[in-house]
Amino acid sequence: MTLPLIQIYDTTLRDGTQSEGFNLSANDKIRIAQKLDELGVAFIEGGWPGSNPKDVEFFERARDMQWKNSLIAAFGSTCRVKGGPEDDANIKALIDSHTPVCTIFGKSSTLHVKEVLLTTNEDNLRIIEQSVAYLKANDKRVIYDAEHFFDGYKLDSVYALETLQAAIRGGAETVVLCDTNGGTMPWEVESIVSVVKEAVLHPFGIHTHNDSECAVINSLIAIRAGAIQAQGTINGVGERCGNANLVSIMADLELKMGYACLPKGNISKLYDLSHFVAEVANLTPDEHLPFVGKSAFAHKGGVHVAAMRRNAQSYQHIEPELVGNKMRVVVSDLAGRGNLLSKAEEHGVEVESAEVLPVLNEIKELESRGFSFEAAEASVTMMLKRQEYGYKPPFELVDFFVNVEHRQGRGLLAEATVKVKVQGELFHTAAEGNGPVNALDLALRKALIGYYPQIEKFHLSDYKVRILDSDHGTEAITRVLIDTRNTTSRWSTVGASTNIIEASWRALSDAVEYGLMVAH
């Protein structure tokens, strides 16, 4: 049996922006909409016309753009109770947005009709039908969002279904069942949606919120029960606890359930889209998201990695590449030889199984003293590289000295001297910096630049410090993570010590050595 094509209705640009900390400019909205169009979602909800200048600008710009796969939708509400759609400012703004699709919401719950709208059940049905019909008469495709549908159904199932029929009489092409408060359980969704399918005999969709951590499963259950449209947001952003995560829904539909919802092959763009949306919103990506988080296919346990080296699917539910992700092996005190051998292969380090044992023991020992190698793969790579037969390090530290003092007229001053051997030659250099780590970095660069001019392209892009045992006060162990990049690569290194300068030096020297010997 051929399963129906499921319409993906994205509301990241409207419902998603109701999430705390998720803010988009008009230009951000355009950029995300272009990515969504490239992915191939059916509908992109741009915002609420007239509600704010950003949405006005978005619809003005979107009007003149070419959209290859997606239809742009404007969002609003049914007309006011005291009046009709022909003189309603909200309805007029929807028409003036010049979008091919308008999505309006109305009340499905008698509680909201009586206590929020302060009207009668009959008048609520009137404004639903008339609002949809008026938009249809103005050449709009109309999607009707039945707000609070599931809660309303539990209060008065007959009336909740009547609101859907009112929208259908008005000409709505799809009526969408909304779990607006996010509290409906999966078995309730299954039961209610089954009734809707038999009662309305009309295309319907699902719009769920995640307040009970059920948004994705509720959406999938509704689709299995007959829904032809799934509404949600990228990465599940949204008000309160968020909306249904469309990334997971799309992956599950296509890879697990046999439905099509995107142009063929486009499911592989999910990883890039997820991270793009987070980046545009200036948010740190949630790397533990299913399917698209960097940790979604990261393996840490030694037993797991050993099994996967025999069969990659032994601890993975899909091939990561199907969604644009990749498998990663994480090195920590839980690692086995397989973890290190996989890491060596990944970075082209030639070591035998027996040669990784000293590194494995060293990692376990260092992690017990405060190191953490999960986010510092470059440090692990260098430990393995140093086991490689014939390996010669690019430089050797003899000693270093760091001084921080306050000088009258100049304020705080940091100065560092380093003594290193480079290809048998001893260099003794000094540098001033805006802090002790910066001074160390500059002094080391000064010593190495003559032999390794590529060091000029190394840039310290992040420096993180964490106190591990704060109950020890100023004697606590400090962990330092350094991120370094050049024009093509980025890598992370770690150091830990009760002395922050020693911890920083270890992370810094690993970063430079990795950049010179491994990074491309």
DSSP 285-300: --TTSTTTSTTTTEE-
pLDDT at 113: 94
Between residues 174 and 327, the one the model is more confident about: 174
How much is the pLDDT for 317? 87
pLDDT of residue 23: 92
Q: Quickly state the pLDDT bin for 378 (edges 50, 70, 90).
A: confident
Question: What is the rounded CA–CA span in Å between residue 69 and residue 37?
Answer: 5
DSSP 309-357: TT-GGGG-SS-GGGGT---EE--STT--HHHHHHHHHHTT----HHHHH
Residue-wise over 274-290: b if at least 16 C-beta within 10 A, else e? bbbbbebbeeebbeebe
DSSP letter (8 states) at residue 499: S
For residue 328, the surrounding DSSP H or E stretch is strand 328-329
Per-residue pLDDT for 352 more than 60? no
**Distance between CA atoms of 493 and 373, rounded to whole angstroms?**
8
pLDDT at 372 over 90: no
pLDDT at 364: 64
pLDDT digits (tens, 9 = 90+) for 137-154: 999 999 999 999 999 999
Three-state secondary structure readout of 143-192: EEEEECHHHHHHHCHHHHHHHHHHHHHHCCCEEEEEECCCCCCHHHHHHH
Burial of 142 (0-12, 13-18, 19+ CB in 10 A): buried
Q: What is the pLDDT of residue 335?
A: 46
Higher pLDDT, 3 or 396: 396
CA distances from 466 to 69, 224, 236, 288, 414 (A): 47, 47, 30, 21, 22
3-state secondary structure 415-479: EEEEEEEECCEEEEEEEEECCHHHHHHHHHHHHHCCCCHHHHHCEEEEEEEEECCHHHHHHCCEE
Give the Cα separation of 25 and 36 in Å (integer): 16
* Cα–Cα dist 99/138, whole Å: 11
pLDDT tens-digit map of 433-485: 888 889 999 999 999 999 999 999 999 888 888 777 666 666 678 888 889 99
How far is it, in rounded angstroms, from Cα 385 to Cα 354? 14
**What stretch of H or E contains 107?**
strand 101-107
Q: State the Cα–Cα distance between residues 107 and 92, nearest whole angstrom.
A: 20
Average pLDDT over the chain, rounded to an integer: 88
* Residue 173, pLDDT above cutoff 50: yes
Residue type, 91: I
Taking a C-beta distance cutoff of 8 angstroms, is the pair 218, 208 a contact?
yes
pLDDT at 467: 77
Give CA–CA dist 302/284, Å, rounded. Answer: 29
Mean pLDDT of the 249-267 span = 97
**Lowest-pLDDT range of 22-31, 64-73, 371-380:** 371-380
pLDDT of residue 245: 98
Residue 468: partners with Cβ closer than 8 Å, 6 or more residues away: 370, 476, 477, 478, 479, 496
Q: What percent of the chain has pLDDT over 70?
A: 85
State whether residue 17 is helix, strand or coil.
helix
The predicted pLDDT at position 466 comes to 79
Residue positions counted in the chain:
520
DSSP-assigned letters across all residues of 359-380: HHHHHHHHHHTT---TT-HHHH
Amino acid identity for residue 60 in this structure: E
Q: Residue 58: is its pLDDT beyond 70?
A: yes
Question: What domains can be seen in the chain, in order of their start residue?
Answer: 7-263 (3.20.20.70), 298-385 (no CATH), 396-517 (3.30.160.270)
Contact (Cβ atoms closer than 8 angstroms) between residue 502 and residue 495: yes
Q: What pLDDT is attached to residue 413?
A: 84
Per-residue pLDDT reduced to its tens digit, 199-245: 999 999 999 999 999 999 999 999 999 999 999 999 999 999 999 99
pLDDT at position 464: 84
Q: For position 357, what pLDDT does the model report?
A: 61
Q: Which percentage of the chain shows pLDDT scores above 90?
A: 63
**In the numeric block, which tokens belong to residue 374?**
């999960």
**pLDDT tier, 120 (very low <50, low <70, confident <90, very high otherwise):** very high
Instruction: Give the Cα separation of 384 and 400 in Å (integer).
Output: 25
pLDDT range class, residue 333, cuts 50, 70, 90: very low
Give the C-alpha separation, 152 to 109, whole Å: 4
Q: What is the mean pLDDT of residues 354-383?
A: 64
Would the pLDDT of 300 be above 70?
A: no
pLDDT at position 356: 62
pLDDT digits (tens, 9 = 90+) for 494-509: 888 888 888 898 889 9
For the stretch 404-434, pLDDT in tens is 888 777 778 889 999 999 988 999 999 998 8
